Structure 1
Amino acid sequence: MLIPKYQTIKNFKFKSGEILPELKIEYATFGTKKTDDNGNITNGIIYLHGSSGDYSSVKRVKDILGPGKIIDTNDYYVICPTSLGNPGSSSPSTSGMGHLFPKYTVEDMVDAAYNLLTQKLNIKHLKGIIGTSMGGFLALQWAIKYPDFMDFIIPVTSSSTSKGQNYAMSTIMNNYIKNDPDYKNGKYEHKPKTGPQNAMMLLYLFGFSPAYYKNSSNEEMLESIHEMELEGANSDANDIIWQNEATMLYDVSDELHKIKARTLVIGINQDQYFPPDTDVIPLSESIKGSKLFLYDSLLGHVGSSEIKNAEGVISDFLKFGD
C-alpha cells in the first residue's frame, strides 16, 4: 500500500503570472533509491496519472512496475505525484480558495512536479517518464520544456492536443456544472452535486470500447453509471472545471520537434478518447525516432490497465537504451 507524502513549494508562479504563496504537492514513492556522491537520486522514474487520478493511480500499470518486473523497482525509484489541480495537491477545493484559485495550464502542472523533484527530492535527472491519458499530456510537455531532464518517455493512450471529441466532452461537462443552480459562478458555499454527477456520467459513454458496451448487460451498465454518478457527487465542481479548461488549452503539436528523449508511444486500437488513426499514430510520426505500439483491449481507453500487453515492447525499448 502506497503512503502519500507532502511537500510545499513556496511562491509558485503560474504561467499567468499569478503567485501561490504555498503550493502543496502530494506524492508517493517506492523502489530502490540510488544516489551519486552529491546525494542526487540517479535512477528515478516518474509516473503521471490521468484526469481523475492521484498518486495511487500508478496501480494502473502495476503489471510492469515492481520487483522483478519489466521496470524492476530493485533497479528504479518510482515517484508518483498527484498533479496540481487534483485533490491531494493544491486545487480550488483543497486550497480553500475556491473560485479564486489561479487558473492553470498543463505547463503549470509540469512545473509543479518539476519543482518537487528538483527542490525537494534531490532529482536533477530522470531515467524516464510514464504517463497515461492526461499523464501522457504531461509527459510530452515535460520532454518539450525540459528536453535534457529525462532519458525516455512513454506516453500511453494520449495525444499531442485536445481537439474534436475530447474538447467537446470537456465543454459539455463544464456546461453541465455551470448550469447547475447551486454552482453560483463558482462561488458556492455548499458543494454542487447535480452538475458534477451529470458531468462524470458523460465520461462513461466513451471510456470503453463499443464492443464492451454491447457485451455488457443493462444491469451492469446501470451499476457503472451509478458509480460515475457517485464519483461526481464526491468531486468538487471547480476542481473539474479548472482541470478541463487546462486540458482544453493543451496543444503541443508544433513543439514535438523539441523532444530529445527516446520515446515509445503506446495506444489502444479500441480507444474512443484517443483513437490511433487520429491521435496516437500521428503523435508517434511527429516525434523523430519514436517507437509505436498498439494493442487490442475490450476496455478501450480504460485498457491502459492491461499494459501487460506491451510488456515485450517496453522491455526491448528499455534494453535498447542501456
Structure 2
Amino acid sequence: MEEIKDKIQKLTISDQYSTYKLGNFKLKSGGEIPDALIAYKTFGDPSLPAIIYPSWYSGSISDNFWLIGEDKTLNPKKYFIIVTALFGNGQSSSPSNMPNLKPFPDVLFYDNVKAQHILVTKHLGVTHARAVLGWSMGAGQTYQWATQYPDFMDIVVPFCGSAKTSLHNQVFLEGAKSALFAAKSTSSAGISQGEVRASDTEYRPFTKEESSVGLKALSRVYAGWGFSQAFYREKLYEKALGFKDLDDFMVNFWEAWACSKDPENMLVMAYTWQSGDCSDQEPYNGDFAKAMQGIKAKALVLPGQTDLYFPPEDSAIEVANMKPGIGEMHIFPSIWGHWAGGPGQSTEDVKWLDEKLKDFFAKS
C-alpha cells in the first residue's frame, strides 16, 4: 500500500506546473489570444545559469523530464531549468482550455518564443540563458530563439528538428490533419490552412465520436513516421517496448497516445509546426541563409540517422549556412527514427544524447 501511495505522489508531483498570465496576447498573424497563459515548470535555483527547454508536438511539460536529473547534463544542481509548454498543448492557452475561443487563432513558433521570452525575462528575471535546447518541435523553437533573440543565449542544441519545416514534412502533416478533418466529413484547405468550410458557416467543434474516430486515424498515420523502417523490421516494438505484436503496438501505443489528446489542440500545434520557418521574421524577411547566419550562439545540431521527419541532409544544410565556427552536427547512430531524440524510451540514444550535451556544454 505504501508503495502505491508513493507512486501516486510522484505522479501528482510530475503533473504539477505553473502558469503565467500574458494578458491579451497579440500574434504575428494579427490575431489575439485573450487572457493568454503560458505554462511552465522550473528546476533548480533561479541564481544558477538558465536553460530553456520547450515542449514538443502534443507533449506535456512532464514529457520533458526524462532528460533532467542530477546524473544528467541538465542537472538542477548546476542549472536553472525552465520547461515551457507550447500554445495548444492543453496546458498553455489551447482550444481545450479556452472553449469560447472558436476557432483558435493561428500560432507560430515566433509567438511561442515571444511568450517564452516574456515569461523568462519579466516573470522569472532571467536576462541571459546558458542554453536553449529541445526535441522535434522543441528544436524548432530552439532555432526560433537563436534567430529571434540571437544575443540571449550562449549555446543552442536542436535535436531531431529543423529551422524550417521541409516540404516533405509539410506533406506528412497534411496526412495527419486530414485524418482528423475526415472524421468531421471535411478536409484540409491546404498547407498551413485549416479545414474547408463555407465562409458563411460558423466553426463547429468535434463531437465526442468524431474526436475518437479522428484521433485513432491520426495515430495510424503517425505510426508510419515516428519510427523507422528498420525499427519495424527489427521488431523493436516487441523486443524493446514489450508489445506482443504489431496490432498490440498500434492500439496500445499509438492509439493510446492519440486518444489521450484533444483534436483541436493537435490541429493548433500542427499549424505551428507546418508553418515553421525562422527566416519568416525581421530582419531576415524569408532569406533562410541570412537567418542561419544571424545565429550567434554556438550550435550543436543533432539529427537522427533514420528520422523520417527531419533527415540529416536537412540539418547539414542548416549548419552549412551558419557562420564559420558557429555550428557543428553529429548524427544519432540509431534505428529508432524520430524517437531517437525523445521522449526517453531508447535508453542507448538517451545515453548518447546526454554525452553529446555534456561534451558541448563543457567546451562552449
Residue 285 of structure 2 corresponds to none
Is the Cα contact below 8 Å between 1:84 and 1:112 reproduced in 2?
no
1:238 corresponds to which letter in structure 2?
A: E
1:156-200 Cα distance to aligned partner (Å, 9 max, x none): 011122123311111111112112137796512633221222112
Q: CA deviation at 1:147?
A: 0.6
Question: Which of 222, 226, 233 pairs up with 2:247?
Answer: 222
Distance in 2 of aligned mates of 1:314 and 1:175: 37
- Residue 222 of structure 2 corresponds to residue 187 of structure 1: no
Distance in 1 of aligned mates of 2:33 and 2:92: 13
Residue 39 of structure 2 corresponds to 26
TM-score normalised over the length of structure 2: 0.79
Matched residue pairs, number? 310
Distance in 2 of aligned mates of 1:207 and 1:244: 15
Distance in 1 of aligned mates of 2:157 and 2:174: 28
1:51-85 Cα distance to aligned partner (Å, 9 max, x none): 1112112134x2xx322532332110101011112
Instruction: Indicate the SS of the match to 2:95.
Output: coil
Distance in 2 of aligned mates of 1:220 and 1:159: 33
Distance in 2 of aligned mates of 1:267 and 1:103: 28
1:117-160 Cα distance to aligned partner (Å, 9 max, x none): 12221112111111101110000011101111111100001112
Identical-residue share of aligned pairs (%): 26
Residue 311 of structure 2 corresponds to 275
Q: After alignment, is 253-262 or 180-189 more displaced?
A: 180-189
Runs of 5+ in structure 2 lacking a partner? 1-12, 187-194, 198-202, 279-287
Instruction: Indicate the SS of the match to 1:12.
Output: strand
Residue 145 of structure 1 corresponds to 148
Is the Cα contact below 8 Å between 1:6 and 1:27 reproduced in 2?
yes
1:221-257 Cα distance to aligned partner (Å, 9 max, x none): 2222113223333322221222212211112334111
Residue 357 of structure 2 corresponds to 314
1:190 corresponds to which letter in structure 2?
A: T
Q: After alignment, is 118-127 or 312-321 more displaced?
A: 312-321
Distance in 2 of aligned mates of 1:196 and 1:99: 20
TM-score normalised over the length of structure 1: 0.89
1:199-226 Cα distance to aligned partner (Å, 9 max, x none): 1221111111211101226943222211
1:249 corresponds to which letter in structure 2?
A: S
Residue 135 of structure 1 corresponds to 138
Distance in 2 of aligned mates of 1:236 and 1:99: 14
Residue 9 of structure 2 corresponds to none
Distance in 1 of aligned mates of 2:244 and 2:122: 50
Question: Which of 84, 89, 93 pairs up with 1:86?
Answer: 89
1:246 corresponds to which letter in structure 2?
A: T
Distance in 1 of aligned mates of 2:355 and 2:106: 41
Distance in 1 of aligned mates of 2:178 and 2:155: 38
Q: After alignment, is 226-235 or 164-173 more displaced?
A: 226-235
Q: After alignment, is 307-316 or 15-24 more displaced?
A: 307-316
Distance in 2 of aligned mates of 1:140 and 1:94: 28
Distance in 2 of aligned mates of 1:298 and 1:189: 36
Q: Select the structure that is richer in strand.
A: 1
1:284 corresponds to which letter in structure 2?
A: V
Question: Which of 36, 51, 57 pairs up with 2:57?
Answer: 51
Distance in 2 of aligned mates of 1:247 and 1:71: 26
Runs of 5+ in structure 1 lacking a partner? 35-41
1:248-292 Cα distance to aligned partner (Å, 9 max, x none): 111233411111111111122121211112x22222222222121
Q: After alignment, is 182-191 or 263-272 more displaced?
A: 182-191
